[in-house]
Structure 1
Amino acid sequence: MTGSPASAGLALSEDAVFADFAARVDLSGAVVAEIGGSVAVETTERHGVACWYAVDPNRAAYTAESGRYRVLRARAEELSLPDASVDAVFSSNAFQFLDVASTLAQAHRVLRPGGLLYAHFGPIWSAIDGHQLEYVRYAGRDLVFWRDTYLPPWAHLAYERAELAELLAGALPADLAELLLWHVHDSDTVNRLFFEDYVSAALGSGLRWVEVTASAQLDYVISAPFDPSALRAVTEEELTARWTRRRGRPTQIGIRDVLMVLRRPD
């Protein structure tokens, strides 16, 4: 295993993530299963793939005119592909929404011996903004976490429900405050896994670990609409100790982006 949970050198754009993947896998004539379906048809065909399966339960089934790009409307946990049928599994910004252990079991099944799984995901639940706010719709539009910074830093890890409800009620319209509170405490949008949970799932997958790299880098400013005196002063050290106690095992706080590269044994 290479890489470090403290490393900050991860690619953050989807184009840069794909470029890193393409530098590791010879895509000419390859069969690839993509979990999440974010790569454009033109990109896959420019690299000469034999077939690119975009696995996404939120997209309609589709086959490109060339036949080399296909959208499979399916969950990653239930891949409808034959055993040992793909050369690589690729994913960008999807693993935080999945049952990771089930998805890795499917990846192990569909990968050919020696095949590579490349997954870049984030932010995850251990991050300062791990609530994935862009999947909340309010006032006729989808909110996005880097622009609509309505939640304070560490809202999901530092505040109990009643505390967060009181804070939001004092600064936001009632319907927005209620929606945000539901999203943080009740929504199942994200899987609420910490970094160590991904590690455990990978180690139990039967795939060999090639690389793990993680970063705590935040590439935008959180400017939530609260009086600073109303915010709780918290540190990562405090949150680490709190969640280690709650979970009964060592837990790192602050990791926002992760690259996980695994290989099916020959």
Structure 2
Amino acid sequence: MSKAEDERNRQAGSFGVVADAYERGRPPYPTDAVTWLVPVGARTVVDLGAGTGKLTRALRRPGRKVVAVEPSAEMRAQFARVLPEVPLLHGTAESIPLPDTSADALVCGQAWHWVDPERAVAEAARVLRPGGWLGLVWNDRDVSEPWVAELDQILRGYAAAPTEDRQADRLGRPFEPVQSRDFRWKHLMTPGQILDMVASRSYVITLKPETREELLGRVRALLDAKHPVEMPYVTKCYRARLS
């Protein structure tokens, strides 16, 4: 395993230790984005890499069964506290603990860049019913807002985000060509929630403690100076139908 792959795996497995901050600081997903990702007639939807259930909450609707799949025990504990009535399974995108052709849609929020795409695509195709949809979604901070650009500059100065090859636009067979769409929106947040959002990033979690505290101190100073009350996001969505 290369040094880059080792670091990537270390970051991918880091979220459990900040599951509570993840729940407090990570944004939800806008309704119009989720409506676009999941077909109207879907009755069984799987949330891959469900985390603390941020996307799961948006996927739920009358007449629809949502099943969550999450590898981290700490994340599952937070999920079970918030959504105790939703079925929650230990698994990954490469090994989904569900029968063949058992879901109408699979949706992966904020996590596809951590998976082995070849194995995950094959597994998604196994679990989906013919004509089912695979949806991938990321909430990205909108750096066209000046203070968000300053925040991004601070983060890059201390803890450059891992290079993400999301591979969302080239799933390949047996899926049809990928469709994509962006949704711009704003999320009301307190300074404390913004700090939790920063603290729950994998590349911040894995910093040395003294470096992490220095970074968070600079973020606090920025928030004190700018007094933001909302975070602008661009929610980037991708979907593909199983042939």
**Alpha carbons of structure 1 residues 206 and 40: separation in structure 2 relative to 1, 3 Å:** closer
Contact 1:56–1:74 (CA under 8 A) maintained in structure 2: yes
Pairing 1:263–2:241 present: yes
Structure-2-length-normalised TM-score? 0.51
Match of 2:10 in 1: none
Contact 1:117–1:261 (CA under 8 A) maintained in structure 2: yes
CA distance in 1, matches of 2:154, 2:58: 38
Match of 1:31 in 2: 44
What's the CA shift for 1:259?
A: 1.6
Q: Structure 1: 5+ residue runs without aligned partners?
A: 1-11, 129-145, 156-167, 169-176, 226-255
Match of 2:69 in 1: 55
Matches of residues 45-194 of structure 1 in structure 2 within 5 Å?
Answer: 46-49=61-64, 51-58=65-72, 59-60=76-77, 69-123=86-140, 149=151, 151-152=153-154, 155=156, 180=159, 184=160, 192-194=163-165
What's the CA shift for 1:42?
A: 6.7
Contact 1:34–1:54 (CA under 8 A) maintained in structure 2: yes
What SS is found at the alignment partner of 1:78? coil
What SS is found at the alignment partner of 1:20? helix
| Equivalent residue letter for 1:52 | V
| Equivalent residue letter for 2:164 | L
Q: Structure 2: 5+ residue runs without aligned partners?
A: 1-26, 188-193, 195-214, 219-233
CA distance in 2, matches of 1:34, 1:56: 8
Q: Alpha carbon RMSD of aligned pairs, Å?
A: 4.4
Contact 1:114–1:263 (CA under 8 A) maintained in structure 2: yes
Which protein shows a greater Rg?
Answer: 1
- Describe the superposition over 1:113-172 as per-residue Cα deviations: whole angstroms up to 9, x where unpaired: 111112112549xx97xxxxxxxxxxxxxxxxx69937458x4xxxxxxxxxxxx5xxxx
Higher helix share: 2
Contact 1:100–1:198 (CA under 8 A) maintained in structure 2: no
Question: Which of these residues, 164, 177, 184, is aligned with residue 209 of structure 1?
Answer: 177
Identity among equivalent positions (%) equals 20
Q: Between Structure 1 and Structure 2, how many residues are aligned?
A: 164
- Describe the superposition over 1:3-47 as per-residue Cα deviations: whole angstroms up to 9, x where unpaired: xxxxxxxxx95033323335x3324xx111111323577765542
Contact 2:99–2:127 (CA under 8 A) maintained in structure 1: yes
Contact 2:138–2:236 (CA under 8 A) maintained in structure 1: yes
CA distance in 1, matches of 2:184, 2:29: 18
Question: Which of these residues, 180, 195, 199, is aligned with residue 169 of structure 2?
Answer: 199
What's the CA shift for 1:89?
A: 0.7
Contact 1:54–1:72 (CA under 8 A) maintained in structure 2: yes
Contact 1:208–1:263 (CA under 8 A) maintained in structure 2: yes
What's the CA shift for 1:260?
A: 1.2
